[in-house]
Amino acid sequence: MFNAVKAVIGGSEGRLAYPYQRIGMVNALQELSNAPEGKYLNSLSSSICVFLLSYYKDDGNEEVKLAILLAVASWAARSADAVQPDVVSFIASGLKEKETLRRGHLRCLRVICRNDANVLQVSSLLGPLVQLVKTGFSKAVQRLDGVYALLVVGKIAAVDMRAEETVTKEKIWSLISQNEPSLVPVSLASKFSTEDCVACIDLLEVLLVGHFDRVVATFSVRSLLQLIIFLICHPNWDIRRIACNATRKIITAAPQLSEDLLIEFSNFLSLVGERLCSSKTSDTENSLDPQVPFLPSVEVLVKALVLISSTALAAAPSTSMRIIFCSHHPCVVGTAKRDTVWRRLFKCFQALGFDIIGILSADVGNLCKGLLGPMGLMSANPLECQAAISSLSTLMSITPRDTYIEFEKHLQNLPERYSHDMLSKNDILVFRTPEGMLSSEQGVYVAESIAAKNTKQAKGRFRTYEDQNDMDHNREAAVGKKDVGKSAKKVDKVKTGKEEARELLLREEASIREKIQEIQKTLSLMLRALGEMAISNPVFAHSQLPSLVGFVNPLLRSPVVSEVAYETMVKLTTCSAPPLCNWALDIATALRLIVTEEDNVLLDLIPSVGDEVANERPSLGLFERIVNGLSASCKSGPLPVDSFTLVFPIIERILLVSKKTGLHEDVLRILYLHMDPLLPLPRLRMISVLYHVLGVIPAYQASIGPALNELSLGLKPDEVAPALYGVYAKDVHVRMACLNAIKCIPAVASRSLPENVDVATSIWIALHDPEKVWVSNHFFLKIEWIKR
């Protein structure tokens, strides 16, 4: 085939008059170099190179010469025997050519040096290459020549000590760092061809593997890592593939770079997010960051993260926080579920032998600290906030107890919560006042007399706020200004003391508004995180509902974050036991109304006994729907204690109505199911509300009496005094029910009550009851009284 191509080029089939014909023959020779290895082919490479060099001298077309250089490089890279002195001298002379051919020779030299055996054979070219490096990094137009030359110089210096000394003597490193600290800016690399980008990859590998200490001391490592990330996220698949292979070699040789590379990748994700946001809001490209010349696809970002995180975790397990954060970044997740990328990473880590669950579980404190800090939840970037929330949710599903403990600590020590509670009414008024207006100016209407001006003019038109005389005065004033104003300088208007005082107040109120906005942002983010963490592990969240609701419930009435608190409450109520969770929205709404609305408003929402039958009405009310949901949920037995504690405020509010309603019987039936003395029920509140119902509706005495007795079985010694609240009731049957229930309290039955003034006072009052309701319990009360 070589002889056939050689014959055609020689004119056996006629003269090849057009350059494309000759280029086609040269390309055919180049393709032959891709044949499988063999001794004969390796020996043939020298002959082909000799032929191509002679043909290069004979052909005068520049495009043909470039094709010949590429073919020479391909054959010379196959075998070190092909790199004879004539090839080296040929390249040396080519380095002196004009720009296009000179760059062609440099590209040829790069390919030749892919074979490590050829590097020493071209070491004699070090001198002209060093000069090209100097010129290339001194002149921006020859920067690409400098990149190719530095690549070969770096390879030669890595295997030849004398070459290393020459490079040091010529001060190449300092020269490059002075002119281009980033070596190759991303903005420049984005304009390179595929071959030139591959050369950049080779250069980074040579420098960071073979000259690491020198490079770290001279160049900006951050800029080099940014270039690596750009290349592994490049739109071209070949460039990405080669860049990924080179990155593995770099991290293997310099594992200390892995954590910094992961940090730069997370910064790159932020830039990608900003680019996405700007592309959605504007069609212009002016505001785009030069570090993100291309928008990588989600799959490209995921593969880059898999590559970087696997090497980073092997080098430094402490990078797990960055890894889980990046795997939940919206730019990486795209439109998939929030933990899709994390699950993919998890499988990769398992395949590589990492115990990722153990690594995360051992460092939950630092993980939460980082995710709740300024890089995560408290970041100014909304995408990073979302990534932190999703990461915390995933942690909640991996190690819920430890994660919740750390999150709860952060909640309890949150300074913004204390600042929120200390806000005054005036602060809230300022917060609600628009920018540029004083809070004292809101709603102030200054009347203006316009009757004299709103009159019919000569032409039959009404002129509001002006008349003909006003227009005449305006014209006269304008003429006067023309006469005087040309030569006179403009005099600044002197502010009055009132205006200065107003500006001072505006600045003070702006400062207050800014402080409250910061509180609003922090609390809103914490509430969002709390809600997402809860629904990510509803089983565990159910066991923590009392404490979770305890944090959110007071914020439902907040003038600053009430809406976000309500959204969080909806998420918390979805964690209640099924099927009650199907009424989550109604339960959350009712809890919000109980906290924020007056009793008369709630009374209107609860149907009275005389209301029409439910199925005859167009729709059920809020509290009716909830009671129906509770009834359906309790068909198979009582609710879990945490779910019951969640809905008890609704039950309590219905029963505290001052008259019998259409829901009383159903609600009491539900309440009677939850009397277990061993469970942590809100017993005192349940007893108190039953006292109220008994006072309002005496007909329920037969069912409420046993319920009070059963509830009293679970009371602790320190709860006896509040339980005796019933002795102060105005109704005799309520006081009697209270005294009957006292006997069931374990501390009373065992006569082991601690000394307590409130208990003694209540018993004394019961003994002196004017209706003498204590008669049936006289012996018991007498013993207790003597004991006191």
Q: Which of the four pLDDT bands, split at 50, 70 and 90, describes residue 288?
A: low
* Locus of tokens 């001060």: 171
Nearest to 22 by CA among 61, 51, 54: 61
Q: How far is CA 341 from the centre of its chain?
A: 14
Q: What is the pLDDT of residue 292?
A: 78
pLDDT at 474 over 60: no
H/E stretch holding 430 = helix 425-431
Q: What is the pLDDT of residue 612?
A: 46
pLDDT at 744 over 60: yes
DSSP classification of residue 623: H
Q: Which of the four pLDDT bands, split at 50, 70 and 90, describes residue 461?
A: very low
Q: What is the pLDDT of residue 597?
A: 82
Give per-residue pLDDT as tens, 477-493: 554 544 544 444 455 56
DSSP classification of residue 82: G
Identity of the residue numbered 174? S
pLDDT at 196 over 60: yes
Nearest to 716 by CA among 748, 743, 739: 748
Q: Which of the four pLDDT bands, split at 50, 70 and 90, describes residue 693?
A: very high
Nearest to 654 by CA among 611, 704, 690: 690
Phi-psi region of 11 (alpha: psi -120 to 50; beta: other; left: phi over 0): left
* Locus of tokens 């007893």: 687
Q: What is the CA radius of gyration of the chain?
A: 42
pTM for the predicted model, two decimal places:
0.83
Residue 425 structure tokens: 């009414």
Q: What is the pLDDT of residue 135?
A: 92
Lowest mean pLDDT among 192-206, 509-523, 753-767: 753-767
Residue 579 structure tokens: 């099927």
Q: How far is CA 195 from the centre of its chain?
A: 37
* Locus of tokens 């939950």: 364
Give per-residue pLDDT as tens, 147-159: 999 999 999 999 9
Q: What is the pLDDT of residue 755?
A: 83
Q: What is the pLDDT of residue 493?
A: 65
pLDDT at 449 over 50: no
Q: How far is CA 97 from the centre of its chain?
A: 54
Identity of the residue numbered 273? G
Q: What is the pLDDT of residue 317?
A: 82
Q: What is the pLDDT of residue 462?
A: 45
Q: What is the pLDDT of residue 155?
A: 94
Q: What is the pLDDT of residue 776?
A: 57
Nearest to 688 by CA among 631, 746, 729, 641: 729
Give per-residue pLDDT as tens, 363-407: 999 999 999 999 999 999 999 999 999 999 999 999 999 999 999
- % of residues, the chain, pLDDT over 90: 59
Q: Which of the four pLDDT bands, split at 50, 70 and 90, describes residue 107?
A: very high
Bridge partners, 462 (sequence order): 456
Q: What is the pLDDT of residue 398?
A: 94
The half-sphere exposure of 625 on its side-chain side, counting CA atoms within 13 A, is 16
Lowest mean pLDDT among 435-449, 491-505, 581-595, 713-727: 435-449
Q: Which of the four pLDDT bands, split at 50, 70 and 90, describes residue 610?
A: low
Lowest mean pLDDT among 173-187, 431-445, 513-527: 431-445
Rounded CA gap, 754 and 58, in Å? 115
Higher pLDDT pick, 612 / 728: 728
Rounded CA gap, 394 and 323, in Å? 12
Q: In this structure, which long-range contacts are made by residues 166-169, counting pairs with CB atoms below 8 Å and at least 24 apart in sequence?
A: 166/126, 166/130, 167/130
Phi-psi region of 442 (alpha: psi -120 to 50; beta: other; left: phi over 0): beta
Mean pLDDT for 410-428 is 93
479 CB-contact burial (10 Å; exposed 0-12 / middle 13-18 / buried 19+): exposed
Question: Is residue 626 a contact partner of residue 588, using CB atoms and an 8 Å limit?
Answer: no
Identity of the residue numbered 412? Q
Rounded CA gap, 600 and 602, in Å? 5
Average pLDDT, the chain: 86
Mean pLDDT for 633-639 is 95
Give the Å distances, CA to CA, from 690 to 578, 671, 772.
27, 10, 22
Residue 152 structure tokens: 């070969």
Q: Which of the four pLDDT bands, split at 50, 70 and 90, describes residue 594?
A: very high
Q: Which of the four pLDDT bands, split at 50, 70 and 90, describes residue 283?
A: low
Rounded CA gap, 751 and 780, in Å? 10
Mean pLDDT for 561-581 is 96
Compute how many other C-beta atoms are within 10 angstroms of the C-beta atom of residue 362. Answer: 15
Q: What is the pLDDT of residue 676?
A: 94
Rounded CA gap, 437 and 505, in Å? 10
pLDDT at 109 over 50: yes
Q: Which of the four pLDDT bands, split at 50, 70 and 90, describes residue 38?
A: low
The angle at the Cα of 739, spanning 733 to 743, to the nearest 5 degrees, equals 140
Question: Is residue 236 a contact partner of residue 194, using CB atoms and an 8 Å limit?
Answer: yes
